[in-house]
Amino acid sequence: MRWYEFLASYWRLSPLARIILTITTIICLFGIVIHIVEPQTFSTTFDGIWWALITTTTIGYGDLVPKTVVGKVVAIALISLGTAFVSAYFVTLSAKAISKENALSAGELPYTKGQHVILVGWNERIRQLLTLLPPHVPCLVIDETLQRWDMPKHIHFIKGNPTHDDVWKKANVFDAHAVIITANQHKNETEADLASIVTLLTIKALHPDVYTVVEVLTTPQVDNAKRAGADAVIETNKWISFLMTNCLSAPNILNDMEQLKKHPIKRLTVHDEWIGMSFHTLLTELNKEGLLLIGIANEQQVTINPQGHTAIQKTDELIVLV
C-alpha cells in the first residue's frame, strides 16, 4: 500500500479511531527509540513501550526513568506530543458521550431492540399508562410536539410525525410487540381520529401483524379504525359517559373502579379438566387459586356472570380478575 493510500484510509476513519491509532503509534515508536537510546535503562523494547505508555497517560510510576541527556530529550518530546493526543482522546470521548445523550433526549436515536411497546402521543393517558405497565416491559414514545425528553431514561423517545414511514423505521416497528395510539390532544375530535387512522394505516403497511390499540373519540370513526386494521378500538368518550352515568345512580362507583385497577382482567384458556364443569363449580375452584371468575367468552358472545349451571366448553375463554 502506497503512503498516500494509507493516508486516505487513515482519514476515512472516525476521529476517535484516528486518535487511538495515533496514540498507539506514538507509544510504540517512542518505546523503540528510548530502548535504542538507553539500552542499559530500558533493556527490552517492552520496557520502552511500558515507559512510553505510563508517561503519556501521566501516571508516572517512576520505575523506569531516562538518565542521559538524549533520553531526557526523547521524554520531553513524548510528553509534549503524546499527552496532547491523550487529552484529545478523552475530550473526543466525552464529546461523543454528550452528543449521544443530547441525541437521545432530542429523540433522534433509533431504537435497536425488540419486543417493545410503542406509545404514540404524549399526554396524561400515556403518563398514567407508563405507571401501570410492568417495569420490565420496554417502552418507546413517539411524539412530534415534545422538544426534549426529560422522563426516565429506560423509556426511549423518538421525535417525529407518526404518519411518516421513517419515524416507524427508526422506532423499529418491525420487531415491536404492540402499538398504542392515543388521540392527538392538539386537534379537534374528528381531526384527531383521522390522524390516528392515518397513523394506523402507516403502521399496518410496514408491519401488518403487529397488535394495535387505537383510541377513537367519535363513534363514526370506530368502523374506519377497524377497517384500517385496528386489533382493539377504545372509545374514550363512550367510557367516560358510561362512568358519569353510573356516578348518578351509584355515587361510590369511582371508588369501586379504583379498586378494580389493582386487579387486572385476564383471559384463560380452558384446561381439559375444566371442560363440562359448571360455572359455579369452576368459580369455587379458581377462587382457591386467588382468581375471581366473572365471565365466559367464545366466538359468539361474551357473557358476564352467566347462570351458575352454565357448562364450560372447550372453545370458551375464561374472564378472570387476578
Q: Quick one: pLDDT at residue 97?
A: 63
The dihedral region occupied by 146, where left means phi > 0, alpha psi between -120 and 50, and beta the remainder, is: beta
Q: Percent helix, strand, coil in the chain (nearest 5)?
A: 50, 15, 35
Of the two residues 263 and 73, the one the predictor is more confident about is: 73
Query: Which of 44, 165, 149 shows the shortest CA–CA distance to 101?
Result: 149
**Whether residue 138 has pLDDT greater than 80:** yes
Share of the chain above pLDDT 90, in %: 43
In the chain, what are the domains? 3-105 (1.10.287.70), 117-240 (3.40.50.720), 263-321 (3.30.70.1450)
CA dihedral defined by 32, 34, 37, 42, rounded to 10 degrees? Answer: -100
Of the two residues 99 and 110, the one the predictor is more confident about is: 110
Residue 318: band (very low, low, confident or very high) from pLDDT cuts 50, 70, 90: very high
Q: Quick one: pLDDT at residue 205?
A: 94
**Helix or strand holding residue 241 (H, E):** helix 236-249
Of the two residues 243 and 58, the one the predictor is more confident about is: 243
Between CA 121 and CA 7, with CA 100 as vertex, the angle to 5 degrees is: 140
* Mean pLDDT for the stretch of residues 164-183: 95
Residue 98: band (very low, low, confident or very high) from pLDDT cuts 50, 70, 90: low
* Number of CB atoms found within 10 A of residue 156's CB: 22
Share of the chain above pLDDT 70, in %: 89
**Whether residue 167 has pLDDT greater than 90:** yes
- Predicted structure pTM score: 0.65
